Amino acid sequence: MSLRTQRPVFRRALVALAALPLLATAACGGGSGTEDSASGGQGTCEKSEGKVKLTYWSWIPGVEKAVAEWNRQNPDIQVSVKSTPNGNAGTYQNMSNALKAGNAPDLGQIEYDSLANFRLQEGLTDIAACAGVKEAEDDFVEWTWSQVTFGSGGEDGVWAVPQDTGPMALFYRKDLFEKHGISVPGTWEEYYEAAKKLKKADPKAYMTHFSQTDPNWFSGMLWQKGANMFAQEGDAWKVDVDSPAAGEVADYWQKMIDEKLVATDLQGFSPALYKAWNDGEVATWVSAAWGYSTIRDNAKATSGKWGVAPMPQWSAGDDRAGNWGGSTTAVLGKSEHPHEAAKFALWLNTDPKALEILNREGGLYPAATEGLELEALQQPVDFYDGQKIFDVFADASKNVTTDWTFGPTMTDTYRFMGDGIAGALGGKGTLEDALAQTDAKTVDSLEKQSLEVAK
């Protein structure tokens, strides 16, 4: 199975940052050039002399097993992994503090939407000159490579190695749909009608939950709609969080909220949500490929009762998917061993054994095209009543729209959006208000960081 697509038309996310003072491409780890050294990009990336010890921060469950396999195969390049909370749950702040203090790890797990933030603070190393990096482009789903390379044709460097993706689909309770005579919705209008039918049949049930704490989930909804929040106009940033397309998405979910068809008091990844799943009080979850293990591991009483279908479409006949999440392995800006760090990052995200471990232990849906051929992704999944659910996500990955750009201050943008969503769910304003507030505050955030904003 190949998920290669036509060359995407991403508006490169960080052209404007090229003028900022960035760290040197790759700090030389000592020694002279070797046959493993690479050229190209900005500067060189030479092999270090002697044995090398690297540190790596990641929140992937079971990642230490993959690292142990690397260490077994590479006695001269040993990696020590530190298990951390999810990026926005504290790891990113700790990375930023460590970078300022000069004691950051050599490598870190960083989500696509946060790469720009770290580059802005000079926290990343350009690994384009490191052996095998540029040649690895064809090893990854194309839109993911576009997220780690900036400038036209990647001319402004390679700033991380893609790790996993989050193509979105619809998880739904087959038993509840069958019990209440509900058909699997193919469009968002059908999803709304299904939600009304479910509520009428069981007043205590909700079609899904709408979390206050997952603004990046809402970003995935906007992604599917093609409601791009950012674009480049020369060296300036165009902020368009409150676009007409985004407004359509906001109005749709506001209607679902107003009619009490979605639960607004359940936070994502919370014990209360898991209980609602187990009790049959929440019937669907529009989520990413990695969500299969979230349901499996936290709603064990529902084994065999779930199915997976394509994400509902805004217009019948469309075939578009959003993306929620996905990470990279980045070489951080203070690493003294970029050659070895880049070599490990490539291995971790392309080696068949490593990919199998990360999928089995951590539920990662690989960004590497070869990873999509993993045997586990070709098999029926018992928890989902024997459905080959990854076939759905393979199709979704091909249909993730590619003209999407993350802004350079996404941490701020998500915080503003989360605050606005919390207000809307609490009856203070609407989701449309949340978009307008996020738009205005994001412009202010960019300007405070001396980034040019297109008017």
- For the stretch 365-392, pLDDT in tens is 999 999 999 999 999 999 999 999 999 9
Q: Please check the confidence at residue 163 and state whether its pLDDT lies above 60.
A: yes
Cα–Cα distance for residue pair 384/215, rounded to 1 Å:
27
* pLDDT computed for residue 402 by the predictor: 74
Greater confidence (386 vs 26) lies with 386
Torsion sign over Cα 87, 90, 96, 100: negative
What are the tens digits of pLDDT across the range 248-296? 999 999 999 999 999 999 999 999 999 999 999 999 999 999 999 899 9
- Measured CA to CA in angstroms, residue 20 lies from 26, 116, 131 at distances of 17, 12, 26
Backbone angles phi and psi of 307, in degrees to 5? -135, 170
Q: Please check the confidence at residue 101 and state whether its pLDDT lies above 70.
A: yes
CA distance between the termini of the chain: 44
For strand 168-173 and strand 284-288, is the pairing parallel, antiparallel, or unpaired? Answer: antiparallel
Portion of the chain with pLDDT greater than 70, in percent:
89
Q: Please state the separation of Cα 212 from the chain's center in Å.
A: 18
Question: In the chain, what are the helix, strand and coil shares in percent, each to the nearest 5?
Answer: 45, 15, 40
Q: Confidence class of residue 455 from pLDDT cuts 50, 70 and 90?
A: confident
- Poorest-pLDDT segment among 51-55, 86-90, 93-97: 86-90
Asked if 360 and 62 count as a contact pair (C-beta separation under 8 A), the reply is yes
Look-up of token digits 């992604």? 223
Q: Confidence class of residue 151 from pLDDT cuts 50, 70 and 90?
A: low
| Side chain identity at residue 57, one-letter code | W
Q: Confidence class of residue 89 from pLDDT cuts 50, 70 and 90?
A: confident
Q: Please check the confidence at residue 323 and state whether its pLDDT lies above 70.
A: yes
Greater confidence (228 vs 1) lies with 228
Per-residue tokens: 111? 């989500």
Q: At what angle do helices 215-225 and 244-258 cross, to 10 degrees?
A: 120
9-36 in b/e burial notation, b at 16+ Cβ within 10 A? ebbbbbbbbeeeebbebbbbbeeeeeee
Q: Is 423 exposed, middle or buried (0-12, 13-18, 19+ CB in 10 A)?
A: middle
For strand 168-173 and strand 161-162, is the pairing parallel, antiparallel, or unpaired? Answer: unpaired
H-helix segments, 173-331: 174-179, 188-201, 215-225, 244-258, 271-278, 291-298
* pLDDT computed for residue 175 by the predictor: 98
What are the tens digits of pLDDT across the range 175-201? 999 999 999 999 999 999 999 999 999
* pLDDT computed for residue 412 by the predictor: 93
Q: At what angle do helices 410-425 and 431-448 cross, to 10 degrees?
A: 150
- Taking alpha carbons only, the member of 382, 387, 374, 389 closest to residue 310 is 389
* pLDDT computed for residue 30 by the predictor: 36
| ∠ CA 245-209-378, rounded to 5° | 85
Portion of the chain with pLDDT greater than 90, in percent:
80
What are the tens digits of pLDDT across the range 30-64? 333 333 333 334 568 999 999 999 999 999 999 99
Look-up of token digits 């990052």? 345
pTM exceeds 0.95 = no
